[in-house]
Amino acid sequence: MVGASRRSRRRRLIACAVVVTAVVAGGWPAPASPASDAVAMEGFRPQLVTVSTPTRADKDRLVALGLDLTEHAGHDYVEVVLHRAADELALAGAGFDWQVRIPDLVQRESDVNAANRAYAASTAVSPLPSGRDSYRSLAGYHADMDRLAAEHPGLVRTFALPRKSIEGKTVYAVEIAHDVDAPEDGRPVFLMMGLHHAREWPSGEHAIEFAFDLVRGYGSDDRITSLLKKARVIVVPVVNVDGFEKSFNDGQLVDLRGIDEGGTGSILATPGNAYKRKNCRMADGLAPFANECALASSPGGFGAGVDLNRNYGGFWGGPGAAAEPVQATYRGAAPFSEPETQNIRELISGRQVTGLITNHTFSNLVLRPNGVAPDTTGPDGLPLGDPPDEAAMKELGDRMAAQNGYTSQHSWQLYDTTGTTEDWSYNATGGYGYTFEIGPDEFHPPFPEVVDEYLGAGEYAGKGNREAFLLALENAVDPAAHSVITGKAPAGATLRLKKTFATPTWSGAVADTLDTTMTVGASGGYTWHVNPSTRPVVKARQIRVVGSEPLKRQTYTGTTLPAQPMEREFTVDRAADLLEVRLDWPTPDDLDLYVLRKNADGTLTEVGRSTGSVGEKERVLLDSPALGDYVLRVENWASATPSWELTASLYDATTEEVGGLVENWTLSCERNGKVLQQVPVVVDRGQRVKADLKTCAQKWSQS
């Protein structure tokens, strides 16, 4: 499935790059007409490519092109969907190298459809909790949620989120808990979401299968029964109802079988909206005309809409979120400009969500905040640093990844993102939030892969995302991972926790309010599981300051002829926080840098590389380098005057604490909407505090 090499692909197309100078320099061209799209498609098929991005600067340049980036990325690559020939030329014009991984996404969609038909025909009941053997449509999700509620009264209820979609559709959720219809009783809430991005079908499947799993296990599985007595679980399987409906419907229509093989005639020349990413906002502030979103002329529908996972308020408008509507990661006209993100905001703001997972595809990753590298200067002029709960969030992320074989890492290690679900939810509420990137290869693979990812396969059989989700739910109910307020109050009283504050965006702030309630039980005693009173975004944070003087520095010079790598050795002979290797040369040519560690048996292991484009100087930075000998390799890719200077330096770094506020909840005791008492409550993560509501009890007895 792999086409031309990165280097040859770039060189072959570089002569054509002049065609797209306006694209690179001045933004994306206006959407083509359907007729011109058809002409362009004759010699080009939508494809998935792996773009070489060895440095963070490369990733930033790639993001700036406005192409359709996936969530499949590593330290030196990002996978990108090329919808038309102009996308390919834009990569070449910007000097990128790439490999083609799926050369024809239309054919691939057809192949997946055929595989899904075969699986459904041969499978009466799948191993999934629901027994499902094929992807659900939007109506299928709604029917399954209704069925769960109808068949399990007292355990399951469905409800509509408050905002209708751009096209006027209702977004539904399902809540699962012991005595689910009882008034809010202080239990923590765990939230599971799917399908922020329309084409990522497994993300919705795993969300609703977890709902089926909990329902099926209640009363028969001690672990699940205990969890549903301690927590309320809310599942929103389809956040982006408009976009998903377009993606799913068009995806089913891709059928390249010949008529003599039983073809139906439902054959698309392009995948239509099957690979649509965003919602159906066609123009900022306006609802679309009838069928406008379904007939979007941008290739694959990817250019139309707002990327919902860049539209949340936290750090909105920062790195990794596009400002232009035609770009794949368009952030929207303002924070929370879209009804879909408003739905999730109001859902989280009205409950004590102590843990959440938002599912996506693909990359086999468990991602945690923050979305921007810790040394990035934030809106306050200081480095963002790591989240204050980094150690605990990493520990949980690692445990979950051990169940499914995924990689546990920061979100920014893919590439910078801002305005994401956890950027806002974690920093506004303190509830732990994670993104799961489900599956290794593609947006919506054959359905048997959905089964394997959920239940685990191979060495992960019996674990998979099912077990990872259960670990996340267990963490959400663990008082050590959130906070608890206890006390006595009149039976039947409404207790309200509220806080109003400004959530920082990248260039300003957005007003936020957290407002949650519970009802005091007949005993008069209450226990309320809540998030900490101080938001992570204003807590003291740790930043790393690199020493100005190196512990050790060594400089080398040399010349490297084409195809004749030159190597130098450097020894890390003392403990250090950082090893920095810089490669410089006096001409605007192209040299590459590789750093390798010598093993005890004499073999070499690559530990870092920097292979930027022409004129970009190379730099490798290694954290806490192991003691031993290193080989620094210089390769001449395209240098006419191959003289260079290489500098290796060891540094110490210090950790400093910056910022730091203490916030409080305002706890109110109310009767029939009348406030009888208000007290401030300060509570940190893992703490349990008592709130004195004696005044409320006195006024209650007098009223």
Instruction: Give catalytic residues, as residue numbers.
Output: 437
* Sheet order of strands, 578-584 included: 552-559, 643-651, 578-584, 618-623
Question: DSSP string spanning 480-544?
Answer: GGSEEEEEE--TTPEEEEEEEEEEE-SSSEEEEEEEEEEE--TTSEEEEEE--SS-GGGS-EEEE
Answer whether 194's CB lies under 8 Å from 208's CB.
yes
Which H/E stretch holds residue 404?
helix 390-404
CA distance 496 to 524: 16
Secondary structure E strands in 369-419: 407-410
Encoding tokens for residue 497? 């926790």
CA distance 555 to 567: 13
Strands 483-488 vs 365-368: parallel, antiparallel or unpaired: unpaired
CA distance 404 to 669: 45
CA atoms within 13 A on the CB side of 569: 6
CA distance 693 to 490: 9
Encoding tokens for residue 555? 């400089």
47 sits in the region (left: phi over 0; alpha: psi -120 to 50; else beta) called: beta
User: For 595-620, what is the HEC assignment?
Assistant: EEEECCCCCEEEEEEECCCCCCCEEE
CA distance 99 to 612: 16
Please count the other Cβ atoms lying within 10 Å of the Cβ belonging to residue 539. Answer: 21
CA distance 468 to 436: 10
* Long-range own/partner contacts, residues 159-163 (CB < 8 A, 24 or more apart): 161/236, 161/343, 161/344, 161/346, 161/347, 162/342, 162/343, 162/346, 163/339, 163/340, 163/342, 163/343, 163/346
**Widest CA span in the chain:** 93
- Report the SS3 class of residue 688: strand
Query: Is the bond preceding residue 599 a cis peptide, omega within 30 degrees?
Result: no
Encoding tokens for residue 367? 């991602």
Strands 483-488 vs 688-690: parallel, antiparallel or unpaired: parallel
* Long-range own/partner contacts, residues 149-153 (CB < 8 A, 24 or more apart): 149/174, 152/215, 152/218
605 class by beta-carbon count within 10 Å (0-12 exposed, 13-18 middle, 19+ buried): exposed
* Residues 535, 537, 540, 544, CA torsion sign: positive
Encoding tokens for residue 623? 């954290």
- With a CB cutoff of 8 Å and minimum separation 6, the contacts of 81 are 46, 47, 48, 49, 67, 68, 70, 105, 275, 300, 302
CA distance 52 to 73: 10
Q: Which residues of 301-339 are buried (b: 16+ CB within 10 A; e: fewer)?
A: bbbbbbbbbbbbbbbbbbbbbbeebbbbbbbbeebbbbb
Strands 591-598 vs 628-636: parallel, antiparallel or unpaired: antiparallel
